[in-house]
Structure 1
Amino acid sequence: MAPSFGRCLQNKLWTGSWKKEDAPLPSLQSQNWRPGAVNRYLGRQREPSVCLCHSASAAVVPQKALEEKAEEFKLVYRFPWIKYCRVLSRLKLLQTATTMVTLPPVCYLYLQDQVSQGVLLYTTGIALFAGAMLYGMSYFFRRIIGLIYLNETGRTVKVAHLTFWGRRNDIYCPIEAVMTLDEVGDSKGELLLQFKRYNSTEILYFTLKFGQIVDKQRFTQIFGKLE
């Protein structure tokens, strides 16, 4: 008796749910179904499509913004050995940090009479020499230009060089601010050529003996004709 009653109750629930899903929309002639309700119902039906449109447009906007923000620069000059300068700069920085870290323990051991004075002087000399070499190498490497670019309009120059930590740093300047080789006084045969600007006292260097001119026309546009 109980199983048959359960099956009957289950059938009624299933048939009731199907009847609710198959029920037609209320007629517009019904007193409780007003035009405003129809608009709200249709609006709810259209909400997913509107959300999809907004999500698609939101995905397109950042892409357009990135395309507008990115400015095309053409490579004019490159120094292939800049990557080795970067490695040497970082290795020298690591070596200096290592010697500076080992110096305090050696001083402590010397005060405890566990190491001789010669070991202390030797460690101190290495640390000072490493610091001086780091300063000299970083001073030189930070002023060597690795890449020179010119944008498509020919109005902005981008120069890439190394920082103290061996990272890349880009400098942007108008082409009118860059001095030509005649104004600087350098000739093509010199090993290092100066990169000077009218609006800055910083001097960078590039070489034509070990570097490569990728675009000679744009290079002449920036630095003038090579003699």
Structure 2
Amino acid sequence: MSLSLLIRTHALGKSLRTISKQLKFSNTYSTCGSTALLAQSFTCKSTFGSLNYTTTATTGNNSATPQWTTIYRLPLIRLAAGFQRLKIYQGVLTALALPISFTLAEFGTISLNSVAIVGAIGVSGLVTLTLFSLLIRNVVGFIYINGELNKVKVAYVDFWGKRTDAIIDINDLDVEWAKAHPTAYNLYQNIRLYSDKTKSFKLLLNYGVIVEPETFCGIFGE
């Protein structure tokens, strides 16, 4: 009987130890789960705060961006820009053709007269395109006005065929130059500035489109 009692006592103690281990594991798992949930909650709050900050900053930048309204556009402005870039291509071709022609002449493949012809064609073409590009320089492609109606943005083509934007105060526009109606021999009208007499823009009213007639006439006259 004493041996049977001893075995039962040993089995009961083993069961109690097993139950104790399970309780400890359950408490540990609950603690880890609570910690993970707390960390996840903190992360979500931080991310949400960052999103709010980014949205606010973006909204602030958009509100600070000035709004421009198109009042004039020139459909042929891309053609004018392409023509302005022709002299660049002509200059590159001439610079490549002359050394190649001299090299071929040294080997006797072509004569020196052919080299002279290549040089004459290249240089004369470059000079012709450069002179014609002076007529197209500063041709206005777009005119915009801001929301306060006190500044205009003039988008024009420069000497190299690139678009350039100039923001000008309306009071700085010398509108007397723009009030003269263009004729068949006067294809464009000059827009000049009071602050800089050397700066002028070419306005092709015969080929342009006035998007906002009232605003345009209020600035440049009828």
The TM-score with structure 1 as length reference comes to 0.74
Q: CA deviation at 1:184?
A: 2.2
Q: Which of 108, 124, 127 is the matching residue for 2:122?
A: 127
Q: Which of 188, 203, 217 is the matching residue for 2:200?
A: 203
Q: Supply the distance in 2 between the matched residues of 1:24 and 1:54 (Cα, whole angstroms).
A: 26
- Judged with a 3 Å threshold, the aligned counterparts in structure 2 of structure 1 residues 56 and 165 are, in CA distance, closer, same or farther, namely same
- Judged with a 3 Å threshold, the aligned counterparts in structure 2 of structure 1 residues 197 and 209 are, in CA distance, closer, same or farther, namely same
Deviation per CA, 1:2-30, whole angstroms, max 9, x where unpaired? Answer: xxxxxxxxxxxxx675552135999xxxx
Identity of aligned residues (%): 24
- Judged with a 3 Å threshold, the aligned counterparts in structure 2 of structure 1 residues 149 and 23 are, in CA distance, closer, same or farther, namely closer
Q: Supply the distance in 1 between the matched residues of 2:63 and 2:32 (Cα, whole angstroms).
A: 52
Q: Supply the distance in 2 between the matched residues of 1:209 and 1:185 (Cα, whole angstroms).
A: 13
Question: Bigger radius of gyration, 1 or 2?
Answer: 2
Q: Supply the distance in 2 between the matched residues of 1:176 and 1:158 (Cα, whole angstroms).
A: 13
- Report 1:178-193 matches (<5 A): 178-180=173-175, 183-184=176-177, 187-190=180-183, 191-193=187-189
Q: Residue 193 of structure 1 aligns to which amino acid in structure 2? A: Q
The TM-score with structure 2 as length reference comes to 0.76
- Report 1:61-140 matches (<5 A): 61-140=56-135
Contact 1:96 1:134 in 2 (8 A): no
Q: Residue 85 of structure 1 aligns to which amino acid in structure 2? A: A
Q: Residue 163 of structure 1 aligns to which amino acid in structure 2? A: D
Question: What SS does the corresponding residue of 1:188 show, helix, strand or coil?
Answer: coil
Q: How well do the aligned residues superpose, as a CA RMSD in angstroms?
A: 3.1
